[in-house]
Structure 1
């Protein structure tokens, strides 16, 4: 019987990232050919849905997040066992593609829920029911859908208390690198070059900053309001001297 805790990324890790030490070697360049998304029926269905609902900038951001998570996990945290073709890889891809689904123009102002919570609830449904996306192919098992849901709920829950799932750690690594330049020591600069060449980010810092500001203006109580100085960190990442300055 398959260990669903492991294959769907429910392994508990300390929320404090400093307690999970990366490999001692320095990261090496990773070619995009080794970071390709899975092509299962489920992954293909979800990617198409995300592309239809997200603006082009957020869709490309989601693909960058997936790519960075793969590169970092495989080189610096081999104990995560994020191997190509695995169910864990598919679960990670689904998480990356849907983590910002709640920021879609169609959804952000249509709910009073923080975008992470609404997006997680939506993901839980659409992953298990292909009819929601208008395609009868590719349904996720309940536990896989729940892993994605857990990670989306907590993808901006950046703190050092308690535990998080492995997939949540991956979404933290990928989003923090792309949005504020955190964790740059875990990925080779050439890997960033390769990823951004394939999934450009012109103006992403400004785009995401506006999304955060809109979420907070519509929902002053929103989950994202707990991240102090978030907009400034986003802006700094794309400004002169920031990690992503030359790409924005």
Structure 2
């Protein structure tokens, strides 16, 4: 879609003061999908040259905000860790064409903060941490579960940039289980639940997305009982935090979340 209010596209490598009507441009799959009458200038990140995916000396995986879904999918096929299959499962949850995969970015998916954003699901489940850079250069780090605060809402100040998401090495060796539900075959996720089991200390984590307005990650030092897990989910998600839109009623999303949570608990626990 043409954005006829945009009068300038600026290269992000050339510093300039942030001004009202500016927006970061990553892959553009959202920006160019609908009218953006409030925008006047796009700050293009495509030439920054950030390495899409990088293993740090301590084994963590740093994912640049400009990393595309296609790049992430290809990389995961060569990743010799137990959690690698989860990456592809979340990429497939996009249900998008190869054209979208080649343009849509991990950072864009997080910054849109949609409940069904599968990169939110992936990075939240793997205990990811966002690196944010303000206009004055000040950096801060925040967990993915704290970055996305609601449907379409995120902890991002005016002009602040999501630079990358880092997944700790410990999370990459976890055993994982994945469940997704949609109201129809090629529909947007209405429920997406991920479980992880840490082989080092036996701890268990359950992450709920798509059915809730924000990602909810529950951690247990040992795998919980069915009753304890159900109680924890009920206590972590308020009644008004079950998402309600054309892709599923809150009651259905809640029911499927509890059902999948129990299936996952049984699958990953000894």
**Under TM normalisation by the shorter chain, which class is it?**
0.3 to 0.5
Larger Rg belongs to? 2
**If the length of structure 1 is used for normalisation, what is the TM-score?**
0.33
- Greater fraction of residues in helix: 1
Structure with bigger RCO (C-alpha 8 Å, 6+ apart): 1
**If the length of structure 2 is used for normalisation, what is the TM-score?**
0.32
- Greater fraction of residues in strand: 2
